């Protein structure tokens, strides 16, 4: 009887151990592709433009949704005051240079001291810095398109003065698009750069092929999720930044 009891206890222990081992193995097994993963389309080239110029808008070259080419004039400002200040600074710079040249000639005849020449050099350097600074301000009076693209948002009109450092123009480039995905961190045991997947975009109701380009540098400690960035196999012509969809990965081995 005692032998029977021991045999039953041993069998029960083995069953419990096998069950625990099976659950552990199941927990370690990679997630299957049946779990959907949401993705958002992002433009690699995108920008929100602002200015700290105290000037009104003189012209707007392109409105929301319109396409532009690299080098096109997007917005110009009324900058007569800034241009006048820049011209004045240029004149002062030239004047300081002439004074320096004169003092250097006089120094040869001991008509002025070395100290006077050094002061003239310092004044030239100061005038040059001020002239360059104002010239840089004038260059901000025109916003030139940095790449081919479209205007995604415009929140200002001609004759209005933008608020300092508040974006008033958003643009997106026509270049390559990226797919931003948030996946469970335990996928990192099998997910790698180059992994292929299919993405069905809600807005177009079409499937597109993609592949992982790079994996985020950190896992969110609370959600245990990680960001991954993917690219399309073939650049689509009907997909816009901001669209979203569901990605399906092939079931990993093991």
Say if residues 188 and 71 touch (Cβ distance below 8 Å): no
What pLDDT is attached to residue 19? 47
What pLDDT is attached to residue 4? 41
Give the CATH class of 80-139: mainly alpha
What pLDDT is attached to residue 15? 43
Say if residues 167 and 23 touch (Cβ distance below 8 Å): no
Residue 86, burial from CB neighbour count under 10 angstroms (0-12, 13-18, 19+) = buried
The CATH architecture annotation of domain 46-79+141-173 reads Beta Barrel (2.40)
What pLDDT tens digit does each residue of the chain (254 aa) get? Answer: 444 444 444 443 444 444 444 434 444 444 454 568 999 999 999 999 999 999 999 999 999 999 999 999 999 999 999 999 999 999 999 999 999 999 999 999 989 999 999 999 999 999 999 999 999 999 999 999 999 999 999 999 999 999 998 999 999 999 899 999 999 999 999 999 999 999 999 999 999 999 999 999 999 999 999 999 999 999 999 999 999 999 999 766 55
The whole-angstrom separation of Cα 61 and Cα 151 is: 10
What pLDDT is attached to residue 18? 45
What pLDDT is attached to residue 11? 46
Distance from CA of residue 249 to its chain's centroid? 27
Beta strand pairing call for 196-201 and 149-154: unpaired
Shared fold status for 46-79+141-173 and 80-139: no
What pLDDT is attached to residue 144? 98
Angle (CA) 54-57-62 rounded to 5° is 140
Task: Count Cβ atoms below 10 Å from residue 96 Cβ, excluding itself.
Answer: 20
Structure tokens given for 11 = 């069998």
On whether the pTM is more than 0.85, the answer is: no
Say if residues 150 and 124 touch (Cβ distance below 8 Å): no
Sketch the domain layout of the chain as residue ranges. Answer: 46-79+141-173, 80-139
Residues 6 or more apart from 107 whose CB is under 8 A from it? 113, 114, 116, 117
What pLDDT is attached to residue 253? 59
The whole-angstrom separation of Cα 246 and Cα 214 is: 18
């Amino acid at each position: 009887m005692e032998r029977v009891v021991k045999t039953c206890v041993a069998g029960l222990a083995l069953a419990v151990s096998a069950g625990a081992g099976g659950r552990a193995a199941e927990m370690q097994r990679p997630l299957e592709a049946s779990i959907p993963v949401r993705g958002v389309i992002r433009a690699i080239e995108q920008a929100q433009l602002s200015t700290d110029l105290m000037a009104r808008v003189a012209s707007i070259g392109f409105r929301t949704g319109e396409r532009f080419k690299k080098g096109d004039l997007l917005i110009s400002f009324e900058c007569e005051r800034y241009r006048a200040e820049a011209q004045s600074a240029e004149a002062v710079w030239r004047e300081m240079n002439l004074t320096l040249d004169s003092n250097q000639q006089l120094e040869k005849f001991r008509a002025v001291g070395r100290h006077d020449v050094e002061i003239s050099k310092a004044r030239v350097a100061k005038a040059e810095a001020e002239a360059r600074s104002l010239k840089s301000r004038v260059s901000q009076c025109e916003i030139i398109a940095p790449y081919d693209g479209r205007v995604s948002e415009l929140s200002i009109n001609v004759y209005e003065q933008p608020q300092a450092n508040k974006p008033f123009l958003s643009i997106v480039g026509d270049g390559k698009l990226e797919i931003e995905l948030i996946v469970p961190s335990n996928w990192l045991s099998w997910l790698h750069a180059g992994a292929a997947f299919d993405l069905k975009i809600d807005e177009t109701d079409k499937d597109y092929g993609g592949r992982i380009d790079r994996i985020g540098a950190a896992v969110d400690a609370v959600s245990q999720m990680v960001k991954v960035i993917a690219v399309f196999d073939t650049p689509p012509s009907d997909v816009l930044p901001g669209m979203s969809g569901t990605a399906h990965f092939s079931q990993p081995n093991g």
